[in-house]
Amino acid sequence: MSSFSADWLALREPYDLRARNPAVLDAVVAWCKDIFAIKFVDLGCGTGSTFRALAPCLRGPQNWRLFDNDLGLLARAAATAPSATVTVTATPLDLGRDLEAALDGAIDIITTSALLDLVSERWLERLAIEITARSIPLYAAISHDGRIEIVPSDPFDRTIVAAVNLHQRTDKGFGPALGGTSASCAITQLKSFGYSVVHGTSDWVLEPHDCDIQMELFSSWAAAARQTGQVPADTVNWLARRRESVAARQSSIRVGHVDFWAHQTGNL
């Protein structure tokens, strides 16, 4: 599975949903409740995971404009409008190049999930400048923060995790990626622009019975680590040991993420 395939996004969605930080989500919902016919823009929507997580928490009409550069994912996203009062449009766009085009028109709130760790500091600045100029709030969920804990431990884990985090910082189409530092960079930047921020962890907690997602993660981490050229050849043996452990239902993983809600309070 590739990291943006529909199959991978479907596999991870229930874990993302369970992981979303409840205090951050409550703050988003509380802010939205007074706005009639609220207008969302979701950046890097995939198949619409953020829309599916948030739309049912809100009452009243909603308009969602979803953006991604993958036509197959967008087609799936557009097909999931849940009710007559919720409208969804899905638009293809390269957000690396044309972010500003996604922010055209009236917007009440910008959302994104599992995107910020792919972007560069420069891109984050562009986003922050655009939204600050118009006082638009941002709900950004499930940004990886670099923490990966695996039980039982393996002597090679530290090498693999370091290589995975190095790989996370390579260019994903937005310039050199911020990887595990993306949420803290965004929070610092938005606070310096006068935003109030509510944030909290949204870790995946994968238990021994969560075999499919663990198998996928270990395979993708081994591949990412190999691509960095920074790990010795026995990555293959590490992966074999990890797969055995998952198959024996003895493996647990915690993957660290951060959610945040940033909005202007008018106290600048």
Structure tokens at 180: 């595990």
**CA–CA separation, 13 and 198 (whole Å):** 23
With 0-12 / 13-18 / 19 or more C-beta atoms within 10 angstroms meaning exposed / middle / buried, residue 7 is exposed
Q: Which residues pair with 232 in a beta bridge?
A: none
Write down the least CB distance from residue 198 to ligand SAM, Å: 19
Write down the least CB distance from residue 82 to ligand SAM, Å: 16
Write down the least CB distance from residue 50 to ligand SAM, Å: 6
In the complex with ligand SAM, the residue whose CB is nearer, 46 or 231, is 46
Structural contact between residues 43 and 67, judged by C-beta atoms closer than 8 angstroms: yes
Write down the least CB distance from residue 152 to ligand SAM, Å: 28
In the complex with ligand SAM, the residue whose CB is nearer, 202 or 245, is 202
**CA–CA separation, 144 and 116 (whole Å):** 8
Residue 171, SS3 per DSSP: coil
Residue ranges binding ligand SAM (CB under 6 A): 4, 9, 16, 44-46, 49-50, 68-70, 73, 93-96, 113-115, 118, 173
**CA–CA separation, 126 and 100 (whole Å):** 8
Write down the least CB distance from residue 266 to ligand SAM, Å: 30
Q: Give the residue at shortest CB distance from ligand SAM.
A: 46
**CA–CA separation, 164 and 225 (whole Å):** 5
Q: Rounded to 5 degrees, what are φ and ψ at 91?
A: -125, 130
In the complex with ligand SAM, the residue whose CB is nearer, 68 or 210, is 68
In the complex with ligand SAM, the residue whose CB is nearer, 5 or 87, is 5
In the complex with ligand SAM, the residue whose CB is nearer, 45 or 81, is 45
Task: Give the up-direction half-sphere exposure of residue 211: CA atoms within 13 A in the CB hemisphere.
Answer: 9
Write down the least CB distance from residue 62 to ligand SAM, Å: 17
In the complex with ligand SAM, the residue whose CB is nearer, 13 or 210, is 13
Residue type, 71: L
